[in-house]
Every structure is written in C-alpha cells, then in structure tokens.
Amino acid sequence: MSNTTQEQDQEYKKNARVNGEYDKIWQNTGKCVFCDLKNKYILIEENEIALTVNLYPYIDGQLMAVPKQHIRSPKELSSQQWETIRKFTYLAKKIIKKVHGYKGMWTVIREGGPEAQMSVTDHLHVQFIPFDKADLCEWHYRKLQYTPLENTDLYKKEAKKIKKLFKKFEQKYQA
C-alpha cells in the first residue's frame, strides 16, 4: 500500500464511528477481525494476549487486550492469561494518562456476541476506554422492579445453586 493510500485509509478509519462508516466496515469484513490482528497495531504481546490499539475507538487513546485464539468467554482463559490482562489493565491506564492526559479509564470485558451489542464478533476482548467527561457513554437506565435488599434476598435464595456453581468452577477450571 502506498503512503498516500495508507494515509487515506487511516483518515477514513479515524472518524468512522462519528461519520457513520463503522457499520459498513465491520459488516463487510467476512472474518473475525480479532483473529486477524495486524502486528503494526499491537503494542505488546504476552501469554497469547495482545495489547493493541482499537482501530475504531470511541475516544483517542482507547486500547484493547485481545486473546490471540478465538475464545468467547473469560472462563476459557488460563490463570496466566488473566494475570496478563490484569497487567495490561495497569499498563493501559498508565500509558493512556502519559500519552493522552486522561486520568479516568473504563475497563470493559466484552463477550456474548450480538446479544451483548457486540458489533464485530463474539471473540472475547477487554476494552480500555479512557474518558474525559461523563458524556462518552449514555446509559439508558431501566425502571427497577426490586430494591437492592430484595435483589440480595433473591440471590441468597439461590445459595445452594451458588455453592454448586463454585464447586463446578473449581473442578472445571482449577484442576
């Protein structure tokens, strides 16, 4: 790709979310973009986890931790990979502050595919989204049916199920 073409491509990508081009781009890739990460965007890689820039960020400086293998759920990560993501979370916050001056950062684990409003894929990834003010993400709160204490009681009624799930987790993932 020539320098001019590469510059045009970068300009096109730069504001794809703002100008409405993002939906056209991701819907036409025909592949999992996270399985096809380009080395030129990867900052560091450790334990099969890549710390990379987001090609279509919500705000300047946004980074992601992406498993190199196509996995759908955090339960598929090894303890070593979890520790790497924890390390990348620390690194992302520090480097985003240094480079862009943002002090705040959301860490969002994305899984679940279309049901979780993931536009691209069901490939697990962790977003490190810097923020400078509260308007970046607009939440649409729901009218609640339960008070916090009522929710606590509902979950406590499932104590036996919770204990079974703990045992299942330990047998499955800590063996």
Q: What is the Cα–Cα distance from 23 to 34, expressed in whole angstroms?
A: 16
Residue 96's closest CA among 60, 54, 57? 60
pLDDT recorded at residue 83: 95
Q: What's the CATH architecture for 31-140?
A: 2-Layer Sandwich (3.30)
pLDDT at 37: 84
One digit per residue, pLDDT tens: the chain, 175 residues?
677 777 777 776 777 667 666 666 656 666 777 887 888 889 999 999 999 998 888 888 999 999 999 888 898 999 999 999 999 999 999 999 999 999 999 999 987 655 545 555 678 999 999 988 777 767 677 888 888 899 889 889 999 999 999 898 888 776 5
Each domain of the chain, given as residue ranges in start order, spans 31-140, 141-175
Residue 113: predicted pLDDT: 59
The pLDDT score that the predictor gives to residue 30 is 64
What letter would DSSP give residue 94?
H
Cα–Cα dist 101/130, whole Å: 9
- Supply 142's token pair: 């729901």
Residue in 106, 103, 7, 97 with CA at minimum distance from that of residue 57 = 106
